[in-house]
Structure 1
Amino acid sequence: MAGHGAEQHPHGADRLCEAGDRVYSRAVRRGRVARLDAEPVPCLLDLALLHPDPDDMDFLVPTAPQEVMTRLLRGMYDEVSESHRRVGSVVAAFERYAGLGRRVQPPSATVEGSAIRVLDGLSRIQAAMDEATAACTTEVLSVQPGGIRREHELSEGLHRALALRGRGVRMRDLYTHVARHGQGLLTYLELMGDTVEARTLDEVIDRLILFDRTVAFIPANTDRTMALELRHPALIEYLVTVFERLWRLAIPLTAALPDTGIEGISHREQSIAALLAEGHQDAVIAERLGISVRTCRAHIARLSETLGAASRTQLGVRIAQAGLDGRPRASEPAPIGVPGAGSSPVR
């Protein structure tokens, strides 16, 4: 879309085309416009004058005119000697839009725009992450779901990790137990030294990255081409609480996984048994544990053989009899609940 917008609408935010002027003016007056109405003017998205409404992805909300003007003026600072004329036109244009915006009370989504920002497209996600990395001074907390971390996946954010290490920023990463078996993760941790501390769990929440407990990034769709940048203090505090509770339950990467106490049953098979007891299908179990469906079914087959189950129904009974269903026995206390531990919310 970016290339198409540049070809059809070759202009800057300070001199919008006639169609873009109409749509942006309407967005400022009304607080938002339908995404379909903005399709003929992709320049508004390319120039970040419109962005997705966090409450309804079928609509776009306008970037505050004052914010747009500030961004433009900042970009022109280094070339101010030859840009006096353009500065005047930018100020004039956005004073008019600001006047339109004062006539109507903006919706809450616009007011909260700086607290919850939708990042549409991988380039914008990466740019926002780079900006947060540059501002980070203390710590980064991250949750990395999925299975074995491939080297190319880890290298995507390596430049950010190295920049953080250079400034003495501490990092704590949560992975699934399956990630222990990948050489890519071990190589990454060896490179980062004691800057990064890693722990693992049977399953974790979806991807989460927290910088200095002030800004967080989470996926906004399943293919992770959209993300949410969160700066609202209440949301950040909640996500930090979730991370810290998961961290306390997790096992350090340098420590071995605990024995199940049942001969012939591995730690992973114990995790699969607990999810089977909850009624989950093979594909769901595989996704939550970060393994392939084929591997999951192989473990289920071995579990059935070990427990002497001839059918799926009988396997459920055997799991409960063996105490593999995850339910606390009468002699042990119930585990403390973890908010969001079973839910699925930057790349």
Structure 2
Amino acid sequence: MPPVIALSQRLNPIERDIAEQRRRSIALSEVFEPFMALGAQDTAPTHSISVLEGLDRINAALDLATAQCQTEMLTVQPSGSVRSAENRLLEALERDKPLIERGVRIRTLYQHTARYNPERLAYVDQFANGKVEYRTIDELVERLIICDEAVAFIPIREDRQVALELRHPGLVRYLVKVFEFMWGRAVPLSAGAPYETASDGITGIQHSIAKLLVEGHVDEAIARRLGMNVRTCRAHIAKLASALGSGSRAQLGFLIAQSGILEKEH
């Protein structure tokens, strides 16, 4: 058999298969065409969850979101180290000032310890005449920023080098509800000090520490969650132990539970 004929016989079945696969691909494309628009909507940026790595990228995304914010910004700002807190205050000042000048409302939650931070109070004083509200609460877990109930930012690493930008409406609405829950239990910064001594001789901060001690948290974790340094936290623990007559850390946990102080409203 001549080679040309042999080659033709070999190629014909392959070419028929290729033609058949091409017809099937065209048919599948026609079937799926009405649904492609729906798929594009589902993956649109308004429904996205983006991972932001590095402070430069995080700050760029925050700058863009605040520049587009028109109605309200909600923020949760836990205390950190003195140096990092000063840096964040400067960043916040640069972002908040244009927002306030545009008439955007800002609500910010701090920990109670912010009431005794001169830098934080000086920052707050700069916006006393704007549409800004500040409240404090005993314990905050992490930072949160929400713009116009449309986009939210949360850190996902303790060093704050990685964050999530959330534009999924369901997730953002959920975070707004979390913020409102904390806001309703917080104390306006203009109100009296929340750490006054109660009738049982134990201050509000010591009640918060007692709660975290019973939950099993170590001193460093308690200090971080309440926005104070470890030395201050241990001083409060010592005062709490003295008030309850405790001679050891193990006994302190027992006496806290036995005293019933965690069952009282403060």
- TM-score category by the smaller chain? 0.7 to 0.9
In the alignment, structure 1 residue 180 sits paired with structure 2 residue 115? yes
Aligned to 2:148: 212
Equivalent positions of 1:154-169 (< 5 A) are 154-169=89-104
In the alignment, structure 1 residue 143 sits paired with structure 2 residue 80? no
Q: CA deviation at 1:260?
A: 5.0
The structure with the largest alpha-carbon Rg is: 2
Structure ranking higher on relative contact order (CA contacts 8 Å, 6+ apart): 2
Q: CA deviation at 1:195?
A: 2.3
Aligned to 2:65: 132
Tell me the amino acid that sits aligned with residue 223 of structure 1. D
Q: Give the gaps of 5 or more residues in structure 1.
A: 1-104, 333-347
Q: Give the gaps of 5 or more residues in structure 2.
A: 1-35
**Alignment counterpart, residue 249 of structure 2, candidates 312, 316, 330:** 312
Aligned to 2:55: 122
Tell me the amino acid that sits aligned with residue 195 of structure 1. K
Equivalent positions of 1:1-347 (< 5 A) are 112=43, 114=45, 115-146=48-79, 150-193=85-128, 194-256=130-192, 257=194, 259-324=196-261, 326=262, 328=263
Contact 2:198–2:204 (8 Å) recurs in 1 = no
Contact 1:143–1:205 (8 Å) recurs in 2 = no
Instruction: After the TM superposition, list the runs of 4 or more consecutive aligned residues in structure 1 that deviate by more than 3 angstroms.
Output: 147-152
Contact 2:135–2:183 (8 Å) recurs in 1 = yes
- Residues 204, 264 of structure 1: alpha-carbon distance in 2 compared, 3 angstrom cutoff: same
Question: Structure 2 length normalisation: TM-score?
Answer: 0.77
* Aligned mates of 1:292, 1:246 — CA distance in 2: 23
Q: CA deviation at 1:255?
A: 1.0
- Residues 323, 259 of structure 1: alpha-carbon distance in 2 compared, 3 angstrom cutoff: farther
- Residues 230, 214 of structure 1: alpha-carbon distance in 2 compared, 3 angstrom cutoff: same
Q: Deviations over 1:43-101 (max 9, x none)?
A: xxxxxxxxxxxxxxxxxxxxxxxxxxxxxxxxxxxxxxxxxxxxxxxxxxxxxxxxxxx
Give the RMSD, CA atoms, in angstroms: 2.4
* Aligned mates of 2:253, 2:198 — CA distance in 1: 19
Task: For residue 232 of structure 2, give the secondary structure of its aligned residue in structure 1.
Answer: helix
Tell me the amino acid that sits aligned with residue 225 of structure 2. R
| Structure with greater proportional helix content | 2
Q: CA deviation at 1:258?
A: 6.0
Aligned to 1:84: none
Q: CA deviation at 1:215?
A: 0.4
Contact 2:150–2:167 (8 Å) recurs in 1 = yes
Number of equivalent positions: 222
